[in-house]
């Protein structure tokens, strides 16, 4: 299960999604998230699904790998769908058992919530899959640059956010190693009820926290050895600039996301 967590991983490439400016990708993902919450009709979601999975195809990412990233969240997705399926009131009752019933409105809402979560995760994952941590930091810093007038530490905030995403795969790998070591010593994480399994995970937390703090200390030492002083006097090897690929991506976003919102508005 832990090996299925792909959030934070970067897959190098030379596709359109890899070449565009990180600011364009950040704004694109934000626009996708807004469109997913604004739209609630089947035609609109069909357009959004075609657009998101079209971007995945353009990025030359494995669809199996993208869908595998949904596996750790499958319990949440199914639980949310079932909750909306049974708790949504309506007049058109399809099935009833006591006080529990399934209505046509519940079926529609459950399908909408599941589709929204799947597309939300797949669309947001495109950002980390096609953007290196350095580019992500620079893009976030440039987008948040106006807040520097309020004397906010924008560079430090962008650095912390990108480092947090970057170290998710590292912590997942470390957790898998600790669990393997605990299993070799006779620990059992798979049997028993939910409470028993939760208690069995407690011995993992202590070495995991120790490892995380050690890695953070090593990273801070490495940054100090390289004379890192935040944004003061910092130069960049690669300057961010908008190009033709960004215009193509923006035009496609306006076409598909705008079309989805229009389909939502139309009766």
Span of 53-57, 65-69, 166-170, 232-236 with lowest mean pLDDT: 232-236
| Residues 258, 36 contacting (CB under 8 angstroms) | no
63 and 25 housed in the same domain: yes
Number of domains in the chain: 2
Do 26 and 115 share a domain, yes or no?
yes
Residue 188 to residue 197: CA distance in whole angstroms: 8
pLDDT (mean) for 80-106 = 84
Distances (CA, A) of 190 to 57, 194, 195, 200, 248: 36, 10, 12, 9, 49
Same domain, 56 and 110: yes
Whether 267 has a pLDDT exceeding 70, the answer reads no
Write the CA distances from 82 to 37, 47, 107, 115, 116, integer angstroms: 19, 25, 9, 13, 14
144 falls within a domain: no
Q: Which residues of 186-214 are buried (b: 16+ CB within 10 A; e: fewer)?
A: eeeeeeeeeeeeeebeeebeeebeebeee
pLDDT in tens, 228-249: 877 666 677 677 888 889 999 9
Would the pTM count as exceeding 0.85? no
Q: Structural domain of residue 125, as residue ranges?
A: 16-131+242-265
pLDDT of residue 35 exceeding 90: yes
Question: Could you give the CA distance from residue 115 to residue 109 in angstroms, rounded to a whole number?
Answer: 10
User: Is 70 exceeded by the pLDDT of residue 194?
Assistant: no
Higher pLDDT, 73 or 56: 56
**Is residue 141 assigned to a domain?**
no
Residues 171 and 254 in one domain: no
131-145: per-residue pLDDT in tens?
888 888 888 888 888
Which residues are 96's β-sheet partners?
A: 101
């Amino acid at each position: 299960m832990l090996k299925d967590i792909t959030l934070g991983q970067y897959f190098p490439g030379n596709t359109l999604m890899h070449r565009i400016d990180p600011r364009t990708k950040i704004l694109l993902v934000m626009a996708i998230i807004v469109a997913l919450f604004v739209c609630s009709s089947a035609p609109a979601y069909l357009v959004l699904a075609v657009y998101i999975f079209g971007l995945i195809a353009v990025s030359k990412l494995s669809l199996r790998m993208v869908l595998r990233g949904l596996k750790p969240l499958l319990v949440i997705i199914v639980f949310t769908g079932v909750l909306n399926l049974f708790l949504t009131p309506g007049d058109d009752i399809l099935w009833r058992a006591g006080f529990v019933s399934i209505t046509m409105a519940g079926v529609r809402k459950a399908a909408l919530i599941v589709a929204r979560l799947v597309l939300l995760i797949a669309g947001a994952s495109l950002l980390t899959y096609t953007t290196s941590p350095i580019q992500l930091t620079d893009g976030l810093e440039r987008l948040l640059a106006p807040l520097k007038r309020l004397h906010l530490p924008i560079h430090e905030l962008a650095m912390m956010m990108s480092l947090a995403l970057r170290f998710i795969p590292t912590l997942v790998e470390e957790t898998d190693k600790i669990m393997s070591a605990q299993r070799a010593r006779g620990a059992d994480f798979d049997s028993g009820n939910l409470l028993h399994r939760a208690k069995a995970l407690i011995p993992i937390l202590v070495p995991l926290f120790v490892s995380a703090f050690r890695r953070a200390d090593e990273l801070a030492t490495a940054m100090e050895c390289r004379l890192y002083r935040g944004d003061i006097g910092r130069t960049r090897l690669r300057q961010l600039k908008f190009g033709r690929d960004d215009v193509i991506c923006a035009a496609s976003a306006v076409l598909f996301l705008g079309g989805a919102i229009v389909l939502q508005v139309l009766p």
